[in-house]
Every structure is written in structure tokens, then in C-alpha cells.
Structure 1
Amino acid sequence: MFDHLERARLATLPTPIEDAGRPTVGGPRVWIKRDDLTGLGGGGNKARKLEFLCGDAVARGSKALLTVGASQSNHCRMTAAAGARLGLEVHLVLSGDAPAVGEPRRGNQLLSEMFGAQMHHTGAAESHWGELEVVREALTDSLAAEGLAPYSIPIGGSTAVGALGYALAFEELIDQFEAQGSMPRAIVFTSSSGGTHAGLLAGRAALIASGRLTLDSAPDVVAIGVAKGVNLGLPDVASLANDALALMDLDATVDPDDVEVDPNWMGDDYAVPTEAGTAAIAWAATTGGWLMDAVYSGKGLSGLLGLVASDRWGADDDVVFIHTGGWPALFA
């Protein structure tokens, strides 16, 4: 399904799955899929997307990568690392203001600086992604005029090409569970820009179409929405998944009814911490030594723990949480 596609080998794969036990008596067994250990630039889910995005960029002859994100964007940090690995110039369009003169960068910005990225601060609020995309488009035109043939990546790397990374990750996860003689009832993860979600649904549809899984045996794909857009149905995840399936040359379809987003764990807004998220971060740290952040993975885990507490799954079920990374933001 993937051999005909351009791919830059950037991630350390496969990532392990770890047993997190049963958070509630009589509840499901929870597993952590350690996509915080993808290796590139401190790890995280974006390494999988960047393998296909950067493969496409190199094939097109691009000399620069350009993307956008919040002030502590994990995606931007990892794009900077990918550029360093591949010898490409990297430009990052970020929310918020630049640090004051003499003030050091922290967290993901510090790492992006170490990887050699050029940062363009917009002053925009963390959740005003439209403003970032306007600047990205203008900067893309400017870099093109300089002859850099920039490869311009929307927020989160959430394109059909980027989604291929999680179509492949779905197959990897199923391989791991089949090897230990089990099958998860559900895959739960954090979603903000929709690309990881689309990729997982594309991978699920691909394995059903191949006959490897059935509709009854295939795990549910449950997104915990942490941004207003994805909670309102933007982008169109099913459409993005189907575009990814088309790139895979597969006659398979994701139906809009396959898309499940739980909007109850975002709190007031994107990047605003919640009490449940803070409690989930503490649970992860004390249960397995897992590091999660308040913007993304911590809120996603709070959603999983909340669904477990509501008895959505029973004692006979296995549920996987994909740990998408984000630990550098803890140091900001």
C-alpha cells in the first residue's frame, strides 16, 4: 500500500506498546502506544507524517520547508528537526510574540532554534490558526521568489500526504496486537488538525477492504478533540481520509459516520489547561513514567480516562491510547 509512495525515513519504528493496567476496577485494560518515541527531534506523532511530507518535498526538488503552529508547536519543532536531517532550510510561522531581548527560548522553541529553523512570530493568539495560514501563504510566495521552491505545510501537517503516516501506523499497531494474540476494541488519541485521525481511519478502511479485518473486528477510532475546529467538524476528516486512500491506490472508502470526535475534554479553548488534563498528566507520570503535556496529550488522556470511568468498555476489552508526544512543552 505504501511502497510506491515517496518517503523520507525519519522515524524510529515501530514504536512499542506498553501495558498501563486497568485504571478502574472491572474496566478495560489500557495500553499506551509510544509514539512519543519516534526519535526525530525529541519524538512525537508528527515524525510519521513528516516521513511522507518530506519525501514528497525532496521528490519535488524543494530546498525549504515552511509550516505553522502555536508558540509551543510540536509539529514545528519536528519539522525543524526533519529539515536539519535532510539539509533543508526551515521557516516556522508561530503564534505569539518573540522572546524579549536577552530572554532565552524555552521548550519547543529552544529545540527549533537548535535545529536551525528561522522563526516568524505573528503575535496571533494561540487558537487563531487562520492568521497563521495567511502569513504562511505570503511567506511561501516570498521564498518561491527567492528560488527556494518551498514545500509549504498547513498546520499539523494535516494533508492527505501527511495522513499516510497514520494509515501506516494503524497497520503497525494491528501487527503488534496480532503478534501478542489480541485485538484492541478501540484506539483513542488526541486530535486538533485532523490528520492523525484521517490517517487512522484510512488505515482501518484499508485493512477491512483487504479482508484482514472485518467491520466487527476492527477497532473503533475515537478522537479526543482539543481544538474548536475539529470539534465542529473542521477539517472534513472523512474526505481527508479518502484522499489518503486514493494516494494509496486503494478501492476503499471512509464514511462520515466513521468519524467520532469527543469534544468534552478541550476546556475553554485550545492550549488552555484543564483540571482533568492536569490530573491525567499526573496519572501518566506516576503510573508509567510517561510525560504528557497540558495542550495536547494530557487532554487526550483525560478523555480516555473519562470514557473508561463512564464504563464505555468492559473488562474483556483492550483499549489503546496513542501517546503523540509533546513533552518539550513541559519546560515552557
Structure 2
Amino acid sequence: MNQIRYARRSYTGGPTPIEKLERLSEALGGPAIYIKRDDQLGLAAGGNKTRKLEYLVEDALRQGADTLITCGAVQSNHCRLTLAAAVREGLSCQLVLTEPESGYDPQASGNHLLFHLMGAEKIAVIPADGDMQAEMEKLADALKQEGRKAYLIPVGGSSEIGTLGYMACAEEIEQQSLVMGVPFDYVVTATGSAGTQAGLIAGLAARQSNAAVIGINVSRDRESQEKKVHELLLSTAELVGLKGDLPRELVRCEDEYVGPGYAIPTPEMVEAVKLLARTEGILLDPVYTGKAMAGLIGLVRKGTFRPEDRVLFLHTGGAPALYTYAETFLSEK
């Protein structure tokens, strides 16, 4: 037995719920839409990175690290949750953040406020096109000089070890599907650093599920994103010894809903966030789940799904970032 899939911390009390979105499904007049509430995962304000961190932090502790170092945007959900995991484990945490086009505001709210509230040991801000990996290694070298040991976590926690979190989620979905008596035809998720989508595909393949995973891009074009996901899928499968063919065709990424770029609002995102809030009382975020839901809505309207299909939307969290986009939402009715 390959033990690596069992070496993990536990930050959530049990499976996250799957709920049927009756009112949204009716409003769209398409397939039956369900939602997997990974916004209710453990650690501060929840989100999909919690699943990845269960494996990553276990690896860090096994290696004797006393500090977690990771990177992301100023409003990074991953940085928030990595810091929360460090606090939970009694570790220090340092963050490398990329400066947004509008400039860095040290008084920014949302996730940035939570970095300070939870006591990040150090926050290094670099230009948007800066080398995050090099900056993390610089911080790690400085800690080494102090006799400390850092564990570096890539953007989004999307290494092979982090991706195991969404292999586990795929197994959880399959188990819930059996209990509910609802076989899902599609799983729709935001895709960025690739670990969530790659893990879902690997986990569903391991269970021989017929559910297809559709990633809605939040940054890159289709070709580069599909390449990134597929490469991580293959390396993760190799890590766990997953047998069988995992062709490129298993990876589907839609890039029509990115808009002008990462974290830049679009009218479709605004519509999606408001529609789910007003039909189901569920909050999405403007960077990931808002654009992913815009993609799901767009696919429904294009007739991608059959009326009898059952579509599961993965809510990857991120609501704290919503409050930094107040002007975007208040400017439209």
C-alpha cells in the first residue's frame, strides 16, 4: 500500500456538504445544479487550499520545519489558509505577495487584513512580474542562517503533495454521490494553479468515475492551462502509483470567462455572484468562484449540458476577498 495518501493533518470535522441549488437551476432552466461546499472547510474562513494544506503541512512537520513560506497575490486565499494552518500547528509563517496593478495598499482589507490579524511573521511585497520562488528561497536562506528550517509551499499549494487533497475530495464526492443516489455527470471548478482540477481528475479516475471535470480558467489561455493541469495530473499519478491511461483529453479548461486578466472583474462575474446570492443566499468570490460560476452559467446558456444532466459546482471559497470589491458590486444594480 502506498502510504503517502494517508499521511495528512485533519483540519475539517467531516465531509463538506453537497446541496442542490433548486432556485438557481430553475432560474437557468438547464440541468440540475448541485454545489460542493468547500467554502466550509476548516481553518480561517475555509476554502479549497485547506485540503491541500492537510498534506503539505504533514510533510513540513515530518521534515522538521518550524516555518512555512508561501506566495500569492495580495488577496491570496492560499496565503490566508497557509498562515492559519501555521498558527494551528504552532509554526511561523512568512508570505511573499505580488503587488497589484493598482499598487500595494498596506491598509488593504479582505485577506490582507487577516494576514496581519493572524500574525504573519514577515510579508515581502514584490512587483507583479517578480520571481516569487526566488524570493521565497531568499527568505528560507535567511532563516537557515538563524538556525531555523523553512518549508516552501508553491503558489496555490499546487505541488504533487498538495494535489492529493483533491484526490481525497474526489473520493469524498463519489461516496456522497452513492449515499445521495445522485450520479454526477460533470464537476465544474475554477482552475488556476492547477492542483484542484488535477486532483479531481486523478481521484475520479482512481474510482473509475464517469464524471467529467471542467475547469473554468481564472488567468491563462486554454492551451497553456490544459498543459499545466495535465503535467501535474501525470506527476501526481506517478507519485501515488495510479495505474491506467490519463490522456490529455481528460483535461478540459474553458478560457472564455477570464476577461481582461486575473482578478480583474467582468460583467459576467458580477452577474454570477449576484445571481447565486439572490437565488440561494450563497456568497462567491470575485476572483475564482465568481468567474467559475460565470463559466457554468455560460455553458448552460450555450446548451453544453442536457436537461437531465447533474452538474456539481465546486465552491472553493474566497469570500473574504469579496469585501475588497465593494465598488464593483455597488456600481451596478
TM-score by length of 2: 0.90
| 2:167 aligned residue | 167
Of 9, 34, 39, 1:36 maps to 39
Shift of 1:121: 3.6
1:96-125 C-alpha deviation (Å, 9 max, x unpaired)? 26545xxx4411011122222134242423
Spell out the pairing of 1:192-271 with structure 2 (5 A cutoff): 192-208=192-208, 213=209, 218-228=210-220, 232-233=224-225, 236-271=228-263
3-state secondary structure, aligned to 2:119: coil
Aligned 8 A contact 1:107 1:328 in 2: yes
Superposition RMSD on alpha carbons, in Å? 1.9
| 2:146 aligned residue | 146
Aligned 8 A contact 1:30 1:318 in 2: yes
1:35-92 C-alpha deviation (Å, 9 max, x unpaired)? 0000211100000000000011001111110000001000000000000000111001
Q: Counterparts of 2:117 and 2:222 in 1: how far apart (Å)?
A: 31
Q: Counterparts of 1:2 and 1:317 in 2: how far apart (Å)?
A: 35
Gaps of 5+ in 1: none
* Identity level (%): 39
3-state secondary structure, aligned to 2:216: strand
Asked if 1:284 is matched to 2:276, the reply is: yes
Aligned 8 A contact 1:231 1:262 in 2: no
Spell out the pairing of 1:103-182 with structure 2 (5 A cutoff): 104-125=107-128, 128=129, 131-182=131-182
Between 1:22-31 and 1:78-87, the stretch displaced more is 22-31
1:121-151 C-alpha deviation (Å, 9 max, x unpaired)? 42423xx3x5323312222222233232211
Between 1:288-297 and 1:79-88, the stretch displaced more is 288-297
Q: Counterparts of 2:244 and 2:112 in 1: how far apart (Å)?
A: 40
3-state secondary structure, aligned to 2:131: helix
Which amino acid counterpart does residue 120 of structure 1 have in structure 2? I
Aligned 8 A contact 1:90 1:117 in 2: yes
Q: Counterparts of 1:306 and 1:234 in 2: how far apart (Å)?
A: 19
Asked if 1:65 is matched to 2:68, the reply is: yes
* Distance change >3 Å, CA 23–CA 149, structure 1 → 2: farther
3-state secondary structure, aligned to 1:233: helix
Between 1:285-294 and 1:223-232, the stretch displaced more is 223-232
| 1:13 aligned residue | 14
Aligned 8 A contact 1:12 1:40 in 2: no
Asked if 1:326 is matched to 2:321, the reply is: no
Number of residue pairs aligned between Structure 1 and Structure 2: 318
* Distance change >3 Å, CA 235–CA 119, structure 1 → 2: farther
* Distance change >3 Å, CA 294–CA 123, structure 1 → 2: same
* Distance change >3 Å, CA 30–CA 234, structure 1 → 2: closer
Between 1:283-292 and 1:143-152, the stretch displaced more is 143-152
Which amino acid counterpart does residue 161 of structure 1 have in structure 2? I
* Distance change >3 Å, CA 15–CA 231, structure 1 → 2: farther
Q: Counterparts of 2:233 and 2:243 in 1: how far apart (Å)?
A: 12
**Runs ≥4 residues deviating over 6 A:** none
Shift of 1:282: 0.1
